[in-house]
Structure 1
């Protein structure tokens, strides 16, 4: 009987010591993703789940997460799961950000509709889905938009 009790104690102690670990991709070119990763790691320190993050270019992170080489990704936009249904969005979000455009003061530029942008040169960071979504459907000319790696 003592052996059975010791065996049960050993099994329950081993189970209590077991930890889950998750390996998540962080977009190598996104400070938002980097900050999100640090916040997530701190949040999960209060659980038995250990989070580690690995920097990847955005497209490679998606490929590896979809292939099961990574457990997921950090800081993707809310519509990301629509494009990749095999990846599950975790709700509620633990932080949020807004994208804004900035102009040099004194530039006297007034933008009220997408067509107003046609006479200006714009830049967009490649691999940031939020940027692509913001300009999707907007009129553009080949000389207008410059992709930045």
Structure 2
């Protein structure tokens, strides 16, 4: 009888250990999220440093995969990824399967770059008409700025964009001003100049696939709290210093 009791107790202990292990494993994977970002863009690199800190305060760990803009959009909207780390407002209107976290946590400006010495003056988006405009494929803020432009040429990244400008295939290159300046530094060229730091400003948002709807409110509340405390701006300042 005692031997039977001991065996039963041993089985119960083993079962409890299995259950505890399963629960711990579930918790681990429940707190892991996988997001897409756009590769080779400065503002995305800033977000890659900031967003994990926001999630960490909620007890979550996130993994970010840089992709071409259109591929990132596809993977987020299809549910292959849990969402995208950073996009403009209109992105949410164009992708029905993602949900915008309501509070923006970063922003960017659409800047104008031309060849040094070029007789071009651009004060607004309307002034772009009549020029050959270059942009990075799939980047929404420059897509919005060039909606009514006839001659628009896409490049895969900012380096290719500026090389198109240097060889004369385009008259104007549009990108975020910080990303543009960072790329000019990497290329080590002085034949391109920034003539307008901002012809359009866009707040930037985090997007979640609709399967993660339960994350929207806690992430939004965390962004608000970190904005109010000043912690978010501190993280952004540190990230910009590291990236740019």
Per the normalisation by structure 1, the TM-score is 0.74
- Structure with the greater relative contact order (CA < 8 A, sep ≥ 6): 1 or 2? 2
More helix by share: 2
Per the normalisation by structure 2, the TM-score is 0.48
- Structure 2 unmatched runs, 5+: 1-11, 157-244
> 2:109 matched to which residue of 1?
98
More strand by share: 2
Residue 146 of structure 2 contacts residue 152 of structure 2 at CA under 8 Å; is this kept in 1? no
- Structure 1 unmatched runs, 5+: none
1:145 aligns with 2:156: no
C-alpha distance in structure 1 between counterparts of 2:58 and 2:117, whole Å: 51
> 1:47 matched to which residue of 2?
58
Looking at CA atoms only, which structure, 1 or 2, has the larger radius of gyration? Answer: 2
1:18 aligns with 2:27: yes
1:36 aligns with 2:47: yes
- Tell me how many residue pairs correspond in the alignment: 134
Residue 124 of structure 1 contacts residue 131 of structure 1 at CA under 8 Å; is this kept in 2? yes
Q: 1:128 aligns with which of 139, 144, 147?
A: 139
C-alpha distance in structure 2 between counterparts of 1:51 and 1:43, whole Å: 10
Cα distance, 1:135–1:21 mapped onto 2, change above 3 Å:
same
How far did 1:104 drift?
5.8
Cα distance, 1:62–1:103 mapped onto 2, change above 3 Å:
closer
Cα distance, 1:117–1:24 mapped onto 2, change above 3 Å:
same
1:110 aligns with 2:121: yes
Instruction: After superposition, give the CA deviation of every residue in 1:80-136 in whole Å (9 maximum; x if it has no partner).
Output: 110112100012111111212245676453345636641x33211112111111110
Residue 33 of structure 1 contacts residue 75 of structure 1 at CA under 8 Å; is this kept in 2? yes
Query: CA-atom RMSD, angstroms?
Result: 2.7
Cα distance, 1:68–1:110 mapped onto 2, change above 3 Å:
closer
C-alpha distance in structure 2 between counterparts of 1:52 and 1:116, whole Å: 38
Aligned partner of residue 101 in structure 1, secondary structure: strand
